[in-house]
Amino acid sequence: MEYQIRGTTMQTLDIQLPMGESIFTESGAMGWMSDNIHMETGMRGGLMGGISRSLAGESMFLVDYTCMGGTGLISFCAGAPGKIMPLQLAPGQSMICQKDSFLCAEKSVKLEMHFRRKLGAGLFGGEGFILQKLTGPGLAFVELDGEITEYTLEAGQGLRIDTGHLAMYEPSIDFDIVTMKGIKNILFGGEGLFLAHVKGPGRVWLQSMPISNLAGRLARYLPSKG
């Protein structure tokens, strides 16, 4: 499989599939494809698998795209301003992502929901209790919001993050929620009561403009009802 990510803020992912190779994605994610690509929709993992994907921000149904001859082209378009990121996952290697970030992957990649175990992290972590977990082997693609910054945290090294800006992290990262200190900071600092706290070892990916923040900015310029 060969691929090319084109564009800057509204990116497109072009994938070249040799004959017999397949990828899967959520329903409605495909932009365009060549005539030799066969599309088949199903509920991978049965009803419970579909429900779990729905809870994690994806559609209940997944779509397999298979090249039936020669070399096929299939393209996926980003749903919001941001970056499409490739993840080459080794056997058993996993990545924890925000809800609705999965774009597509080789059929060998496992997509499932991931529960935040700590109550505070689930209630106030910006994305709720349920995230997405991708496990290799295989190549997967995710779309994250805005510009992306990657940090590698050493063991015990911590980082406090405005909730919603944490886009993806390795399972070795410890994630929790901490309370903002100082009553003036809470009331007038503009950051709210809670911050996300991540602690190494492992890598984290932060996004500059979560889609919820973008929606809030745009809402200021929309006419109010009534």
Q: What is the SS3 string spanning 160-193? A: EEECCCEEEECCCCEEEEEECCCHHHHHHCCCCC
Domains contained in the chain, number: 1
Return the structure tokens found at 18: 């040799």
- Residue 224: inside a domain: no
Q: What is the pLDDT of residue 121?
A: 42
- Residue 226: inside a domain: no
- pLDDT-derived band at 187, boundaries 50, 70, 90: very low
CA distance 7 to 55: 30
- Residue 101: inside a domain: yes
- Residue 121: inside a domain: yes
- pLDDT-derived band at 163, boundaries 50, 70, 90: confident
- pLDDT-derived band at 118, boundaries 50, 70, 90: low
Which pLDDT tens digit goes with each residue over 137-149? 999 999 999 999 9
Q: What is the pTM of this model?
A: 0.82
- Residue 78: inside a domain: yes
Q: What is the pLDDT of residue 207?
A: 95
Which pLDDT tens digit goes with each residue over 69-115? 999 999 999 888 999 999 999 999 999 998 889 999 999 999 888 77
Checking if the pLDDT of 50 tops 90, the result is no
CA distances from 34 to 4, 31, 78 (A): 16, 11, 19
The parent domain of residue 136 ranges over 2-219
Checking if the pLDDT of 201 tops 70, the result is yes
Choose between 58 and 42: higher pLDDT: 42
The domain that holds 30 is classified in CATH as 3.60.160.10
